[in-house]
Structure 1
Amino acid sequence: MPTTLTLKGIPDDVYTRLKETAEVHRRSLNNEAISVLETALLPRKATASDRITRARALRAPLEQGAFAAKDIDEFKRQGRR
């Protein structure tokens, strides 16, 4: 059974932003707050297909063959310093 939650002392800027996003998503303020909490607290696990799609989207703007495997390995090593 759903539980009722009352929030007090919400900063004005947070309330305003929540109200704006509720309007954009065509939700009540209550439903938008629930959606935001679910997104923050109950992240869904990405499927393999989701990960592949995301990787392809990130890779798409890169020039084909712009990086050799040895260059990529060097970038990784630099990032570990």
Structure 2
Amino acid sequence: MDGRGELLQRLKRLNQAQFEEVLFRLGIDPAIIPSQFAEQSLRAIRVIQRLEQETEGFERLNQTLAESAISIIGEQYIGYEI
């Protein structure tokens, strides 16, 4: 399992759409997280603080970040029609 610092860095690297999807999948109320106009690092810290209150919070975050769907959200698709 990744530690607090590693999870924080991974959250800070997410784009806006990915971050919002992580919040949704974790069931974190967006009202307790600073708005999308706040710095990503501040938002990530609040998510970490929220998950510290749960017994399995970091494990759930680690599993969510590992999902392949998270990595492609918000990415531009450049490809060819088959």
Of structures 1 and 2, the larger Rg is shown by: 1
TM over 0.5: no
What is the TM-score with the length of structure 1 in the denominator? 0.24
